[in-house]
Chain A
Amino acid sequence: MLPAPFTAEFLNRLEVLRLRTRKDVLGNRPGAYSSPRRGTSLEFADYRKYSPGDDLRYVDWGIFARSDRLYVRLFHEEVDLFAYIFIDASGSMAFPSIKEKFAPACNLAMALGYVVLANHDHVRLHSLKDENAAASPFYRGRQRMRDLIHFVSSVSPAGALEPAPCLGNHLKHIRRPGKAILISDFLVPADAYQQGLNLLRAFNLDTSVIQVLSREEIAPALLQGELSLIDSENFSELRLQWDKTISREYEEKLARHNRELKSFCHQSGIHYSFYATDEDLGRFVLKTLPATGLFR
């Protein structure tokens, strides 16, 4: 049974989407994504001198007429895509409740996964969670959507997240470069998420980042007065006097934190999107993400 947003109409509209990659990918079957290898696609890649045995169909006769030298045209190989969707499953994703943050994030991951499956590409889900590096097998084809849901349902958010070590554990098992999509709230120090994202870049993955925050995190509506706030990841306690001034300053700090993340992604060639969980998933996937360049 698919979650509520996944209506037949929504799925139909997802099927026309296709992930955009900024880098060549290494697929193992013919597909729609450019590969660094030379192949038989229609996209011209380069010339090289003719060698005996080359297919005469690829000889560029125009160059031979002008220079009396034989060159053959080389074309890009088009392969299928290996997509890696990383879902932050730390404790903070359960705030203010699982239904209000983690579930929308998972729905988003499943929507992205379905786009990949519908294009007969490979998708694999990774849950980012303290020491546990749970990852699904590669799925391909629409019929594996059920397995995708099953995997997502088995993940529950808890614990603290250190992006770099956790991503490092997952990347040990990734052999093929492809598309990496990281879904997280990124409520970690800047150097921590930067290390993690740099790690993805180092593995030559075309990385996209979707920051997911609930409305309660964007604009906390806490009762004024003295509060003892408990960190949902490490359960550390913090006492503060919550009032409108603090609320406003928090919102400014969060906006600055998000700007820094976005700026880092921009400088690092990482695609960045922001998803507020109270926003309509269909609108975000079908309008916002294509507009920001994640889909083509």
Chain B
Amino acid sequence: MPSTDATTRLKNTITGVALAVLPVILFILALLLGRYPIGPLDVGRSLLSPIFPKLGANIPDVARRLVLRVRLPRALAALLIGASYGSTGAAFQAIFKNPLVDSNILGVTSGAGFGAALALLLMQGQWQVQIFAFAFGLLAVGMAFFGSRLYKSSPLLVLTLMGILVGSLFGSLTALLKYLADPLDTLPAITFWLLGSLASITWSSLPALVIITLLGLVFLWLIRWRLNVLSLGDAEARALGINPTRAKLWIITTTTLMTAAAVSVSGVIGWVGLVIPHAGRLLVGPDHKHLMPASILLGAAFLLLIDNISRTLLPGEIPLGVLTGLVGVPVLALLLRHGRTGW
């Protein structure tokens, strides 16, 4: 690795270690904190009780079940979804050569939001909402992608434009659904879903999310260095022997699946995919070899942090969309002051 002097190397190591440790600490905090008072020892015993049943014998059943069935899946979801947003944001910023995009540039979040609203309007039921959200998220990106193929010139610009068009199309359709919805029950449900929340996550919400996110993260981690080359542009990427169209296709597909899975479980959480890669760049630089793991870890840590606040500060849940800005902006400001210069 390029090494300059010892102090820089030391700083880099410390940064790396801190980044790796941060999500772990927040994950543990997520298990320890909650509105229902459970002591740390009890938490530990609850966690081990599936393997060592005797440990779980003396803990009140409510506490044990809360730790295993409510806190644990929710913390895992926050971890995975945060990592998902961070990594997909970084990948999209690379292939669009634009530090101002996140994975919603192609409309997946808007499509998923529409799908969820449609499901909430037509029927009730957790898993229908998830499936509709997922399906429409993919549909939106598909529309943007195939729409852009109609125009041969400046493919990146056209792709961005199609993504914006598709996103606003689904945004308008969602507004239509909100208009048709019964203001007493369906509308508040739609609004809450669109604000993003991990409140109703249980183990049953997780299987698809876990599989898709882990596979996606592995893929993005493996191709992370290629993102450097792709971020130079199609012409140079081709000159360096990469097929940018195929690479982008794979990346867009993966990120879309990951984002759609995340949105279908937790609703729309904005801001994370846009800002986390920036924070990562300020800490470790733009080389995706380091940036991708940094984005994954930072994204996971960030979402764990705000979810912890969201569910413990007040008796009612604070929507995640409210906290992402309130917590994220000061953190980013701090990083801008002390981080590396230049993007």
> Are A and B associated in one complex?
no
